[in-house]
Amino acid sequence: MTSTAVLATPARFPRLLLPATPPADPLEIEAAVAAGAFAALRLAVEKLKADGVINALTESGMRGRGGGGHPIGEKWRACARAGVPAGAAAGGVAAASAPTRYVVVNAYGADPAVMTDRVLLESNPYAVIEGAAIAAFAVGAREVIVALRAEAADAIRAVEAAIAAAESAGYLGENILDSGTEIRFSVRPLQGSYMLGEETVLLKGLEGKRGQPEQQPPYTTSRGLFGAPTLIHGPQTFAAVPTILSGGIAGFAETDARTFAGTILVQISGAVARPGIAEVPFGVTLREVLDVAGGVPGPRRLKAVLVGGPSGGILPADALGVGFDHDSLEKAGAHVGSGSIVVLDQHSCVVDLAAVLTRFCADEACGKTIPCRIGLRRLAEIGARICEGQPRGDEIACLTDLSVDIVGSALCDHERRATLALLSVVRYFRDELDAHLLRNTCPAGICQPKADARAGVVS
Amino acid sequence: MREPTLRPSPSSPPSATPTRSGKSGKQGKAADWAPVEAASTAISTNATAPATSALTIHARDAADTLRRLRPAENQKGAWNKHAGRTDSRPDSKTPFDTIEPFDNSLAERLITAQAPQRPLATPTFRIEVDGRIVEGTEGQTILEVCRANGIEIPTLCYEPKLPGFGACRMCVVEVEGEEHPPISCSREAEAGMVVRTQTEQLRRLRRTNLELIFSDHNAYCLPPCQNKCPSHIDIPGFLRANAEGHFRESARIFKRTIPFPSILGRVCPAPCEDHCRRDEVDEAIAIRDSHRYAGDQILKSQKDGIEPPLPFETQPKTGKRVAVIGSGPAGMSAAYYLLLSGHDVTVFERDPEPGGMLRYGIPEYRLPKADVLEPEYEAVWKLGARLECNKALGRDFTLDDLHAQGFDSTIVATGCYDTNKLNIANENADGVIDGLEYLRIATLGLPYPGHKKSRVVVIGGGFTAMDCWRTSIRQGASQVTLVYRRDMKDMPAASEVHEALEEGGTAIFQAGPTRVLVDENNKVTGVEFIRMQPGAPDASGRRRPEPAAGTEFVVECDRVLLAIGQGPDLSWIGPGNEGVAAARYRLSADAVTFETGRPGVFGAGDVRIGAATVVQAIAEGRRCAYAVDAFLRGNDLSELRNGQTLAEVEPTFLSIVPFTDEPKEARHRLKAMPAKERSRSYIEYEIPYTAAEVMAESTRCLQCTCEALGNCDLRRLGIEYGTTLQTLEPGHDSGAGFRSVTENRFTGANHDYIRDDSHAFILREPSRCIDCGRCANVCAEVVGAACYDFMRTGFDTLVTTPLDMSLNDTPCVSCGRCAETCPTGALMPKPRVLEKYDVDESRCILCGICVDACPYDALRGGQDNELAHDDRADPQIDLIGLAAVDRETEVTYIRRERDWMAHALAEGRIDRSVEALPALPAALAGERGGRGGAKSE
């Protein structure tokens, strides 16, 4: 069972998304406004205007929380400019003649074991709404769609209530803050599979079509929902926007982030003393994150961490010095993904885990492209054969070659990331692999490799 | 001519659409000059001036013409009123330019949202592709630019009518400065792009993709029979022609790969029949006997002066001369295909008559010389081959002589005539005879001296041994014993053993000779053998026989015939014949290009591969002819490797479909003369089929070929990227290497789906589906029916109908576009034959779809094609016939129930009659049994 407890963090970790002292009722709009909600929206509408907001974001260096971690300033500018003829840009990026645009809050939360987005929406809904409203104002969208997983009933209720309250208070709706700008919010609960977390798949879901990703580019910022320019972010990204604007750029940059600005919510689970959700600045080391969760209690010993959810990478205990941010994790063979960190002790077999994860990703694939539909399944089969001690030729070379080719011709990040689990095992846990392949033993005692199938082992 | 443009101007929103429905589309033809004006403005802002004026004038003229043609029409006004707008000024947007949603509902947006339309005239730009500078039009994808410029990028899921989909990942290209290679079908080309389409990495990505597809492609291209035939004859093709009674066509199909259907119909070991899938239903098809009949029909008509059919049109004369040394099967098939290719051929033969092993190695009773061999060879002579008999290589001429005589090329096809030695004591005794030497005399029709009444031992188990054995019986030997060191099931010619035993021969298996016993005159008195037991398997997979000590025994005899295999005579290699070499007792020549070490000299047949079957020799000859043809035309022979692959290849894997509907029907066997008669005679002992028999036998063929063969993009790409072949380097005697398509480094679980032929026009074979989504996209986006979509997730995803229902239950309009777009054989138009039909003449366009499609048989073929009528007095449904069908079914049911009861009573499963069982009608009560499936033994 996934813990939704919000863990206490050291004082040097700023709390930008989840307030350190949560209000009694997060939906109480007066209290929220008193605490500073919608100040940034007012600032954006009355002072900064669209260009100013985008410039401020660009200067802050803020990057998206999920996926590739792209700088959001560029993304917003691309969306604001989409469909506007090059010569017309002089009159302001969000010119009145511009086409329909959408802002989509991707709160689908595909990873079933991660509750961070739901907790954020339940405990701080106004930050997400405000950020999305600022985004809509900046790119010239009149419609914001909050897409949630249908079974996240509490989050849906919270967001709907918060939107209703904000509308009646005049922060959203036909005429926000008496500026003459219209920004309407709607909540769309979606029921679907794992793949709906991918942004183009989510848009297909909103259009009522089969959830299959689209080739990017063209990016969603130029051809998104119903073919219109669409800005799509996760709720954490939107929630961070008001902080940047109201707290000033300097304030945001002052956070403890070592690589780039901002904080992120992580879901820590597995062999730790206190599983739960923590808000950590980008760039803190994995060890610091584990310390927040109380570390690994004895007599269990830390063996590895799975970072990034089902399509994440498995990092060994001595890689805990890796910073928790997009670039460092990418280099180490994992990714931020859903913000999930699963801690494994000595009783877990990383080979088995990687094979199971790959099989999960293969089964959840939408089936559109060949490398994903067949390739991931073949990867999972290789993993299963290694676990069973029945390798066929040089499995590790085949696994590596296939992974490289899947990444090379992938359509979406799902198939790219799904190769990480087995690749990271090859990279960090070669001994354990060899124990399965050559000695027909599983050090953790999970797999039962058969001893009679040693013929044909090359490596 | 294309319509004058209705394109949206750049200032109008991209949601603009020229037509809202078919109705307004018609109105578009009456469009006035306003949209043209918009177009010309657009052009003049973007294109160069001279081109602009020309285009503008052209467009304006066209619009003027249209206006003059329909001056009174102004449906536009009506539409405007409906849309709540007033008629527009000339300089404003016309209603055809923009359609705004009536309200802001989702449905309305879905209707009005439209894919961007490409304007008719757009600015061009240049990009660099593989080092070439090519021009593209704004809005074109990289793929479109490349295809427009003749640069081929492989695709499987790309459908030109629709925007790129991006499922197959075959069209990946490298764009300079980008980390991940984008796919060219979805990526717009931009000015100045540097694109590479064929780098090593891209080809590797594509190859991996193809391997992945093949690893789950549980289907086949060629049927196994065709695959296993060394010459890859189109077996389903000629069998179908046979079944329809077109024997000449059947022989013609056969001659595409083998010129001699009658000869092969008698001497071929028929490896095809071992792999016939009909075996899964009842019994394999008699493939060999079927083409024998077709070939014999040609020979018969040849007697009446009718020319034998040619498989291809003869090519114009090239003036090149080829010398073929040896007139056996390899040499003659090479000569045949070279002659068809337009070259001049002279055949040199060592013996007084042409035929090689066919004439001097195969006895008359198996292959009649005057009735079959000579007339069938006639087909080659008729094409203009010259024959020089009594000319042996090395004895009468050398390769240098041939070169001096002006031959551009030489094919050495001298066969294998040196019998192997036993290497045992007294092997040179008087009475030990070379089996081939013996057959040579015997096949000349001469009695071998001293054979009558003698006791003969034949050592060996191949075709030569068999022929020696059976010929000795025919020559009146008193006792003929065949001794073979392995078991009978290991014999290459096992099928003939029973016939020989019937004729009076005896056989000893699993015994090998140790020495020949002689008397004081060095004359054979017997052979000592030792029992052999099977040991470890050897390279051919057969268990190597090993002698069992202390089991020696003696067979007394007067004669020993040695038939333990042959090798080629290569003693001619030397002065005058320099450049060619021998390797492993054979002539050294390439397996694909057939080149020997000497330029222009090729080697084919047994001399290259060692003693093999006739069909292998003929396959060698044909493939060699193509190599020589390429050589004579100055083509690169290394290219041939690829070409050979394209021509010969065969990805095969069988999806074992349950043939539950296929009626069981035993194989029609050739009858033979009684053993007593045939053991004294050289007359061909097998009695050929009648026409009815051969048609019935050929009808049993299941036609396993993939219907999409030749139109399949997957097969084409698989061959191009080498993912269907284990190796290009063929085995020494088996042509190009073969393997199942699903066998590659990724082989794993695969899907086996059931064929759906419930629809009248479209045949679905999901096992061949590669999930490219083309059918789903075309059906939804172009046709609008949306019968297919991706179903299920992950590895089990399949593009199919909802719930895998029959197409009949979907909104299918039978337009056939899905079958048209399918890159493989997963969706195919069903072959249909329509002859005549009744129609309503006032409306009918005589398409005939109604007759085939009507599920209630309310339409039927009429007497008159042109004058259709509708006559209600004459019911179209044969009600009486239908009633009879029902009754038959009912009766069958009653019988089955009663039979069950009888059995159950007899076996004591029930103890008394079940009274509720239906009773048979009195008229049928006496009748029992009926036509059960005649089971063959």
pLDDT at B502: 83
CATH number at residue B793: 3.30.70.20
Identify the band that residue A253 occupies on the pLDDT scale cut at 50, 70 and 90.
Answer: low
Output the pTM of the full model.
Answer: 0.67
Kindly identify which residue of chain A lies nearest to residue B182, measuring between CA atoms: A409
pLDDT at B922: 54
Say if residue B156's pLDDT is above 70.
yes
> Rounded to an integer, what distance in angstroms lies between the CA atom of residue B888 and that of residue B905?
26
> Chain B contacts of A98, Cβ < 8 Å?
none
Say if residue B327's pLDDT is above 50.
yes
State whether A367 and B792 contact (CB < 8 Å).
Answer: yes
Across residues B768-786, what is the average pLDDT? 90
Say if residue B929's pLDDT is above 60.
no
From A193, A365, A370, residue closest to B212, measured CB to CB: A370
> Chain B contacts of A195, Cβ < 8 Å?
793
In a domain, B12, yes or no: no
pLDDT at B859: 58
Residues B35 and B94 in one domain: yes
Identify the band that residue B848 occupies on the pLDDT scale cut at 50, 70 and 90.
Answer: low
Across residues A11-31, what is the average pLDDT? 85
Q: Does A87 contact B at CB distance below 8 Å? A: no
pLDDT at B866: 43
> Chain A contacts of B10, Cβ < 8 Å?
85
> Chain A contacts of B795, Cβ < 8 Å?
362-363, 365, 367, 373-374, 376-377
In a domain, B452, yes or no: yes
CA B533 and chain centroid, separation: 42
Q: Domains for chain A: give ranges and CATH numbers.
A: 29-253 (3.40.50.11540), 263-345 (3.10.20.600), 350-437 (1.20.1440.230)
pLDDT at A450: 75
Task: Give per-residue pLDDT as tens, B780-799.
Answer: 988 888 899 999 889 999 99
ipTM, 2 dp = 0.90
The first and second tokens of residue B291, run together, are: 């083409």
State whether A370 and B169 contact (CB < 8 Å).
Answer: yes
CB pairs under 8 A between A and B: 131
Preferred mutation among B109, B209, B770, B799 to probe A, highest tally of A CBs within 10 A: B209
pLDDT at B100: 58
Across residues B602-620, what is the average pLDDT? 91
Residues B58 and B138 in one domain: no
Decide which of B497 and B661 is more confident.
Answer: B497
> Chain A contacts of B208, Cβ < 8 Å?
371, 375, 401-402, 405, 409
Residues B105 and B163 in one domain: no
Residues B430 and B556 in one domain: yes
Across residues A291-299, what is the average pLDDT? 91
Range in A133-147, B310-324, B416-430, B714-728 the model is least confident about: B714-728
Q: Which of B728, B750, B772 is the last residue of a domain?
A: B750
**How many structural domains compose chain B?**
6
Residues B902 and B779 in one domain: no
> Chain A contacts of B748, Cβ < 8 Å?
377-378, 381
Q: How many CA atoms lie within 13 A of B175 on its CB side?
A: 20
Residues B101 and B27 in one domain: yes
Question: Which residue, B346, B224, B166, is CA-closest to B773?
Answer: B166
Looking only at the bridges linking them, the beta strands covering A276-281 and A263-270 are: antiparallel
Preferred mutation among B186, B208, B777 to probe A, highest tally of A CBs within 10 A: B208
> Chain B contacts of A402, Cβ < 8 Å?
208, 746
From A100, A215, A408, residue closest to B186, measured CB to CB: A215
Task: Give per-residue pLDDT as tens, B62-78.
Answer: 455 445 444 444 444 44
pLDDT at B78: 42
CATH number at residue B183: 3.10.20.740
Say if residue B490's pLDDT is above 90.
no
By the 8 A CB rule, do A383 and A354 touch?
yes
Q: How far is B216 from chain A (nearest CA, A)?
A: 8
Residues B770 and B740 in one domain: no
> Chain A contacts of B109, Cβ < 8 Å?
226
Across residues A382-399, what is the average pLDDT? 90
> Chain B contacts of A207, Cβ < 8 Å?
110
Angle between helices B235-243 and B287-303 (to 10 degrees): 60
Residue with tokens 């000449």: B248
Residues 252-311 on A with a CB inside 8 Å of B are: none
Q: How far is A205 from chain B (nearest CA, A)?
A: 14
Say if residue B51's pLDDT is above 80.
no
Across residues A246-265, what is the average pLDDT? 61
Buried b (16+ CB within 10 A) or exposed e, B347-362: bbbbbebbbbbbbbbb
> Rounded to an integer, what distance in angstroms lies between the CA atom of residue B813 and that of residue B105?
30
pLDDT at B106: 66
pLDDT at B14: 42
In a domain, B208, yes or no: no
Question: Which residue, B323, B312, B302, is CA-closest to B375?
Answer: B302
pLDDT at A270: 92
pLDDT at B533: 83
Residues B480 and B516 in one domain: yes
Name residue B555's beta-bridge partners: B527
The secondary structure of chain A, three-state, reads CCCCCECCCCCCCCCCCCCCCCCCCCCCHHHHHHCCCCHHHHHHHHHHHHHHHHHHHHHHCCECCCCCCCEHHHHHHHHHHCCCCHHHHHHCCCCCCCCCCEEEEEECCCCCCCCHHHHHHHHCHHHHHHHHHHHHHHHCCCEEEEEEECCCHHHHHHHHHHHHHHHHCCCCECCHHHCCCCEEEEEEEECCCHHHHCHHHHHHHHHCCCCCCCCCCCCCCCCCHHHCCEEEECHHHHHHHHHHHHCHHHHHHCCCCCCCCCEEEEEEEECCCCCEEEEEECCCEHHHHHHHCCCCCCCCCEEEEEECHHHCEEEEHHHCCCECCHHHHHHHCCCCCCCEEEEEECCCCHHHHHHHHHHHHHHHCCCCCHHHHHHHHHHHHHHHHHHCCCCCCCHHHHHHHHHHHHHHCCCCHHHHHHCHHHHHHHHHCHHHHHHHHCCCCCCCCCCCCCCCCCCCCCC
Question: Which residue, B559, B554, B534, B532, is CA-closest to B544?
Answer: B534
Say if residue A334's pLDDT is above 80.
yes
Q: Which of B77, B112, B147 is the last residue of a domain?
A: B112
In a domain, B373, yes or no: no
Q: How far is A65 from chain B (nearest CA, A)?
A: 22
Amino acid identity, position B379: A
CATH number at residue B261: 1.10.1060
Across residues B269-289, what is the average pLDDT? 85
Q: How far is B113 from chain A (nearest CA, A)?
A: 7
> Chain B contacts of A368, Cβ < 8 Å?
166-167, 773, 790, 797
Across residues B467-491, what is the average pLDDT? 85
Sheet containing A263-270: give its strands across.
A276-281, A263-270, A340-345, A302-307, A313-316
State whether A374 and B746 contact (CB < 8 Å).
Answer: yes
Residues B455 and B515 in one domain: yes
Residue range(s) defining the domain that contains residue B473: 418-567
Task: Give per-residue pLDDT as tens, A61-75.
Answer: 788 876 667 788 888
By the 8 A CB rule, do A67 and A75 touch?
no
Say if residue B835's pLDDT is above 70.
no
Task: Give per-residue pLDDT as tens, B351-364.
Answer: 999 999 999 988 88
In a domain, B586, yes or no: no
By the 8 A CB rule, do A18 and A265 touch?
yes
pLDDT at B378: 92
Identify the band that residue B117 occupies on the pLDDT scale cut at 50, 70 and 90.
Answer: low
By the 8 A CB rule, do B65 and B141 touch?
no
Q: Does A413 contact B at CB distance below 8 Å? A: no
Across residues B460-474, what is the average pLDDT? 87
> Rounded to an integer, what distance in angstroms lies between the CA atom of residue A238 and that of residue B581?
80
Identify the band that residue B813 occupies on the pLDDT scale cut at 50, 70 and 90.
Answer: confident
From B15, B209, B745, residue closest to A370, measured CB to CB: B209
Residues B426 and B545 in one domain: yes
Say if residue B666's pLDDT is above 80.
no
In a domain, B625, yes or no: no
Using a pLDDT cut of 90, give the percent of chain A over it.
49
Using a pLDDT cut of 70, give the percent of chain A over it.
91
State whether A373 and B795 contact (CB < 8 Å).
Answer: yes
In a domain, B624, yes or no: no
Name residue B458's beta-bridge partners: B482, B561
Preferred mutation among A374, A379, A394, A401 to probe B, highest tally of B CBs within 10 A: A374
State whether B167 and A368 contact (CB < 8 Å).
Answer: yes
pLDDT at B649: 38
Say if residue B52's pLDDT is above 70.
no
Task: Give per-residue pLDDT as tens, A209-228.
Answer: 888 998 888 888 888 898 89
Residues B424 and B557 in one domain: yes
B484 SS3 class = strand
Preferred mutation among B157, B746, B791 to probe A, highest tally of A CBs within 10 A: B746
The secondary structure of B188-226, three-state, reads ECCCCCEEECCCHHHHHHHHHHHHHHHHCCCCCCCCHHH
Say if residue B59's pLDDT is above 60.
no
> Chain A contacts of B13, Cβ < 8 Å?
83, 99
Say if residue B524's pLDDT is above 50.
yes
State whether B204 and A405 contact (CB < 8 Å).
Answer: yes
Using a pLDDT cut of 70, give the percent of chain B over it.
70
Residues B654 and B720 in one domain: yes
In a domain, B545, yes or no: yes
Q: How far is A408 from chain B (nearest CA, A)?
A: 6
Dihedral, A273, A276, A281, A285 alpha carbons, nearest 10:
30
State whether B793 and A364 contact (CB < 8 Å).
Answer: yes
Q: Which of B567, B586, B611 is the last residue of a domain?
A: B567
By the 8 A CB rule, do B798 and B766 touch?
yes
> Chain A contacts of B802, Cβ < 8 Å?
none
